[in-house]
Structure 1
Amino acid sequence: MIELDLSADIQALRTTFANIREVVDVDALRADVDRLEQEAADPELWNDQANAQKVTSALSRVKAQLAKVTKIESRLDDLEVMVDLANEMEDEDAAQEARTELAALEKAIGDLEVQTLLDGEYDDRAAVVTIRSGAGGDDATDVAEMLMRMYLRWAERPGYPVKVMDTSYAEGAGIKSTTFEVDAPYAYGTLSVEAGTHRLARISPFGSADKRQTSFAAVEVIPVMEEAQEVDIPENDIRVDVFRSSGPGGQSVNTTDSAVRITHLPTGIVVSMQNEKSQIQNRAAAMRVLQTRLLLLQKEEEAAKKKELAGTITASWGDQMRSYFLYGQQLVKDLRTGYEVGNPATVFDGDLDGLINAGIRWRKRKIED
C-alpha cells in the first residue's frame, strides 16, 4: 500500500506561483494580447513594414509569456489529480510519475521566478553574444570554440532562434572570435550574467604530455537595440532662418530670400541649404540633412550605450568570473555566486540554467544592497 503525500510541496509551489503571477500581472498580459491582436488584424498594418514587425514580434512575445504562466497553473492542478489517482489506485508507477512532475514544476516555477527579476531597461531584448579567445594560445582558441558550442546548445534546448553573424577561425585549433544573436524574449537579461572572463584549467591536448594549461576567453553580451529609421523633429525644436543665396565672392545668386538655415535647438546642429530654386525646396532639403545628422547622432549614442553595457573584459588572470576544471577535480565554479556543478560535460553541453539563475539572483541582491 502506498500513501503519497505531496500536499505541503504543492502548497509551497502554489504560494510561490501566486507571488509570481502577481508580479507578472496576468490580466495586463491578456489586455496586451487583445490590443496587439487588434493592431495585427488591421489591414493597413503592413503599409509600415517596420511597425508591423514590431507589433507581430511583441504579440508573439506576450503570447508566449502568457502561455507559460497559464500552462504552469494547469500543471499544478493536474499534479494534485495525479497524486489522488496514485493513492486511489495504489500504483507506484503513478506515484513516481507525480514525483517526477513535482520536480519538473519546481524547476519551471523557479525559472519563472528568476525571470521576474529581469526588470532592467534592456532585459527583455534579444542578445548579441561575442566570444573572444584570450591568453593561452591554442588552448584559448579551443576554449572559445567550446564556449560557443555551449551557448548554442543552451539556446537550442528551448528552441531559441540563433543567427551566427561572424566567426574568425584560428590557424591552429578553435576560433579567435565569434558573434551570434539569440533572438528570444529576455535573452539579454538572461545571458548578460554570462559576460566576463571564463577560465579553463586542464591537461593541454596541444602541449607537452601531462602538462596543465590555464587558458582564458572573454564573453561579451549586449542587447539588440531597435534601429531608428527616421527621427521625428518637433517644430518647436528648430529655428528656421531665411537669407539670400550667395555665390563666389559673396555676390547674390537671386533676388529672393530662398536660402534656409535650420538650427536644431536641443543639439545645436546647424544645417544650411541654398542650392535649390525655392525656399520650400531648400527647407525640405535642409530638413532631410538634419534628420540624417540626428539619426547618425542617435546611432553614435546607441553604440556608446552598447559599449558601456558590454564593459571592459580582459580575458586574462585576475578578473575571471567562472572557472572550468577538467583535470583531477571535475568542477565548474562561478566565482561570484559560489554555485558549483560537478559535471563539466553537462555544462559544456548547454546545461547552464542553474549557473545562469544563480547569477541573476546574485545580481539582483547586489543591486538591492
Structure 2
Amino acid sequence: MSEARAKWETIAKAVDLDALRARIADLEQQASAPSLWDDTEHAQKVTSQLSASQTQLRKLEETRSSLDDIETLYELGSEEGDEDSLEEARAELAQTRSQLDAMEVQTLMDGEYDERAAVLTIRSGAGGVDAADWAQMLLRQYLRYAERAGFKAQVLDTSYAEEAGIKSATVQITGDYAYGKLSVEGGTHRLVRISPFDNQGRRQTSFAAVEVIPLVEATDHIDVPDSDIRIDTYMSSGPGGQGVNTTYSAVRLTHIPTGIVITMQDERSQIQNRAAAMSILQSKLLVMKHEEEAKTRKELAGDIKASWGDQMRSYVLHPYQMVKDLRTGYETSDTQGVFDGDLDAFIDAGIRWRHQQRREAAEAAEAAEAAEAAETTEA
C-alpha cells in the first residue's frame, strides 16, 4: 500500500493536478464557444484534448479512491480475521498497481511531439523474399496493435514485392500519444524462422526496418520552396480497383536538397496524394531540423549509450519461440500474441528505457558543461 500510494503521489506531482484542472477548465470554455465548429480541425483538436485531459484526471481520482477503499477493506479484514476480505484487498491492490504502472508510463512521454499522431514506415531489408514477407508481417502486427489500442490506422502507401510480401509500407496512426508510444518501435527488427519459401526447409534470418516520425501540424511552419521539390506521377499498383490502377493518381515526391523520396498512392485523387506526401515530407524535415539542433547538446555529453543500434528486437520462431527487445531486455515466449499486436509490455519497457537514457544524457551534458565552465574559470 505504501509503495502504491508513493507511486500515486509521484504521478500526481508529475501531472500537476492544479494545472490539469486549469487546462480542463480552459478547454471546456473553448468547447462551449458557439463558433467552435467554424474551424472543424481546431474543434476536433480541442474536443480530443479535453477528452484526454478529463480521462487522465478521472483515472487519478479513481485510483486514489481505490487505494482508500482497499486500505479500509484490509484493515477490516485484519481486525475480524476475514481471509476472504484480505484476499479481495490483495487482488484489488494488484489491479490498482497495474493501473498505476500504466499511468506512470504516460507521465514519461513528455517529448515535444509525443502527443501527436505517428507516421510509421516499414521497409524490407536483407533476406530476400523472406524479408519482404517479414515486412508484411510487421505491417499486420502494427495494424493489429493500433486496433487493440483504439487508434485509427490508415495505410498511405504500399510497395509490393514481386514474389511475396512488401518492399515498403507507410501507415498513419492517429490517437492519444500515438507517436510517444510507437516512437520506441523505431529500428531494425530481426526474424529467425524456418523459411516457408525454401523447399529444403532451412532456417532463415531476415530483417526489416521500422521508421517512426511525428505528423506535422500547421503550426510547425516548415517551409519547403517549390524549387526544392520534384514531383512525378504514375499509375498506382497493387490492390485498389480499376479507378486507382488506370489513372496517374500516384505521386512520387523528391526533396532535392536532402534526397528524401516520398511515394503516395492510397488516395484516388492526385491532389490528395500530393497533399499527403507533402505532409510526410514536412514531418521528416521537422525531425531532421530538431536532430541538428540537438547535435551540439549531444556532443557536449560525449559518448552516451543512447544509440538504438542496428537491431532493436529479435523474433525467433526456430529452434525455440521468443521475442526479445535487445535494448530493454524484456522478452516473451508468446510470439503469436506479439504478431497479433500485443506490444504493450514491449512499448512500456521501451518508454521507461528511453526516459532513463534521456536522463543519463541530460546529466552527462550538465556535467560536461560544468567541467567546461570550471576550466574557463581557471583559465
* TM-score relative to the length of structure 2: 0.68
Q: Write the distance in 2 (CA, Å) between the matches of 1:173 and 1:301.
A: 32
| Structure 1 residue aligned with 2:112 | 121
Post-superposition offset of 1:105: 2.3
| Structure 2 residue aligned with 1:240 | none
1:160-239 correspondence to structure 2 within 5 Å: 160-228=151-219
| Structure 2 residue aligned with 1:237 | none
Residue from 49, 52, 70 that aligns with 1:79: 70
- The residue identity in structure 2 corresponding to 1:131 is I
- The residue identity in structure 2 corresponding to 1:224 is L
Flag the 1:228–1:138 CA change in 2: closer, same or farther, 3 A.
same
Aligned pairs, number: 288
* TM-score relative to the length of structure 1: 0.69
Flag the 1:11–1:306 CA change in 2: closer, same or farther, 3 A.
same
Question: Is 2:150 the counterpart of 1:159?
Answer: yes
Post-superposition offset of 1:68: 2.8
**1:127-150 CA deviation, whole Å, 9 max, x = no partner?**
111112212122212222222222
Flag the 1:299–1:337 CA change in 2: closer, same or farther, 3 A.
closer
- The residue identity in structure 2 corresponding to 1:127 is A
- The residue identity in structure 1 corresponding to 2:172 is E
Post-superposition offset of 1:298: 11
Q: Write the distance in 2 (CA, Å) between the matches of 1:148 and 1:205.
A: 18
Post-superposition offset of 1:120: 1.3
**1:87-115 CA deviation, whole Å, 9 max, x = no partner?**
658464x6555444333322221121122
Question: Is 2:48 the counterpart of 1:57?
Answer: yes
Flag the 1:137–1:310 CA change in 2: closer, same or farther, 3 A.
farther
Q: Determine which structure has more spread, i.e. the larger CA radius of gyration.
A: 1
Residue from 304, 327, 330 that aligns with 2:285: 304
| Structure 2 residue aligned with 1:315 | none
Q: Which runs of 5+ in 2 are unaligned?
A: 223-277, 293-308, 361-379
| Structure 1 residue aligned with 2:317 | 326
Q: Write the distance in 1 (CA, Å) between the matches of 2:214 and 2:220.
A: 18
Q: Which runs of 5+ in 1 are unaligned?
A: 1-9, 232-296, 312-317
Question: Is 2:350 the counterpart of 1:359?
Answer: yes
- The residue identity in structure 2 corresponding to 1:221 is V
Question: Is 2:139 the counterpart of 1:148?
Answer: yes
| Structure 2 residue aligned with 1:46 | 37
1:262-273 correspondence to structure 2 within 5 Å: none
Post-superposition offset of 1:157: 2.4
Percent identical among aligned pairs is 53
- The residue identity in structure 1 corresponding to 2:151 is Y
| Structure 2 residue aligned with 1:347 | 338
**1:348-369 CA deviation, whole Å, 9 max, x = no partner?**
2222222112212222222222
Post-superposition offset of 1:308: 6.2
Q: Write the distance in 2 (CA, Å) between the matches of 1:85 and 1:139.
A: 60
Flag the 1:80–1:49 CA change in 2: closer, same or farther, 3 A.
same
Post-superposition offset of 1:337: 1.9
Q: Write the distance in 1 (CA, Å) between the matches of 2:95 and 2:145.
A: 18
Q: Write the distance in 2 (CA, Å) between the matches of 1:116 and 1:363.
A: 13
Q: Write the distance in 2 (CA, Å) between the matches of 1:73 and 1:194.
A: 32
| Structure 1 residue aligned with 2:369 | none
**1:295-329 CA deviation, whole Å, 9 max, x = no partner?**
xx999765412456799xxxxxx811111111123
Moved more, 139-148 or 78-87: 78-87
Contact 1:222 1:310 in 2 (8 A): no
- The residue identity in structure 1 corresponding to 2:4 is L
| Structure 1 residue aligned with 2:367 | none
- The residue identity in structure 2 corresponding to 1:332 is V
Name the Cα RMSD after superposition.
3.0
Post-superposition offset of 1:21: 0.6
Flag the 1:47–1:151 CA change in 2: closer, same or farther, 3 A.
same
Q: Write the distance in 1 (CA, Å) between the matches of 2:141 and 2:290.
A: 22
Q: Write the distance in 2 (CA, Å) between the matches of 1:105 and 1:76.
A: 8
Flag the 1:100–1:175 CA change in 2: closer, same or farther, 3 A.
farther
Post-superposition offset of 1:201: 0.4
Q: Write the distance in 2 (CA, Å) between the matches of 1:112 and 1:154.
A: 19
Question: What SS class does the counterpart of residue 357 from structure 1 fall into?
Answer: helix
Q: Write the distance in 2 (CA, Å) between the matches of 1:332 and 1:192.
A: 19
Post-superposition offset of 1:82: 5.0
- The residue identity in structure 1 corresponding to 2:285 is A
Contact 1:222 1:309 in 2 (8 A): no
Q: Write the distance in 1 (CA, Å) between the matches of 2:280 and 2:169.
A: 23
**1:216-247 CA deviation, whole Å, 9 max, x = no partner?**
1111111121135999xxxxxxxxxxxxxxxx
Q: Write the distance in 2 (CA, Å) between the matches of 1:331 and 1:342.
A: 4
Residue from 3, 6, 13 that aligns with 2:4: 13
Q: Write the distance in 2 (CA, Å) between the matches of 1:300 and 1:116.
A: 29
Moved more, 178-187 or 215-224: 178-187
Question: What SS class does the counterpart of residue 312 from structure 2 fall into?
Answer: strand
Flag the 1:335–1:299 CA change in 2: closer, same or farther, 3 A.
closer
Question: What SS class does the counterpart of residue 156 from structure 2 fall into?
Answer: strand
Post-superposition offset of 1:207: 0.6
| Structure 2 residue aligned with 1:22 | 13
